[in-house]
Amino acid sequence: MRVLMRMIRSAAVLLVVAAALAAGGVAFAGLGQPSPWQMGFQQSAAPTMDDIIWFHDFVLWIITAITIFVLALLVMVIVKFNARANPTPSRTTHNTLIEVAWTVIPVVILVVIAVPSFRILFVQVNTPTSDITIKATGKQWYWSYSYPDAKFEFDSIMLKENERKPDQPRLLAVDNEMVVPVNKVIRVHVIGADVIHAFAVPSFGVKMDAIPGRLNETWFKATREGVYYGQCSELCGKDHAFMPIAVRVVSEQAYTAWVADAKKKFARDEGAPATTVAAKTGAMPGTSGGATTE
Ligand SMILES: [Cu+2]
Give residue 31's pLDDT.
Answer: 84
Give residue 282's pLDDT.
Answer: 46
Give, in order, the Cα–Cα distances in Å from 164 to each of 143, 158, 167, 172, 252: 18, 9, 8, 10, 27
In a domain, 56, yes or no: yes
Q: In what side-by-side order are the strands of the sheet with 142-147?
A: 152-156, 142-147, 132-139, 185-192, 216-221
User: Does 56 lie in the same domain as 180?
Assistant: no
Contacts of 130 (CB under 8 A, 6+ apart): 185, 186, 187, 219
User: Does 277 lie in the same domain as 154?
Assistant: yes
Tell me the pLDDT band of 55, cut-offs 50, 70 and 90.
Answer: very high
In a domain, 89, yes or no: no
More confidently predicted of 12 and 275:
12
In a domain, 6, yes or no: yes
Q: What is the mean pLDDT of the chain?
A: 87
Beta pairing class for 185-192 and 132-139:
parallel
Of residues 126, 244, 240, 146, the one with CA closest to residue 190:
146
* Spacing, Cα 158 to ligand 1 middle (Å): 12
Tell me the pLDDT band of 107, cut-offs 50, 70 and 90.
Answer: very high
> What is the pTM assigned to this prediction?
0.78
In a domain, 219, yes or no: yes
* Spacing, Cα 63 to ligand 1 middle (Å): 34
Q: Which residues surround ligand 1, an ion (CB under 5 A)?
A: 197, 232, 236
Range of the domain at 255: 132-281
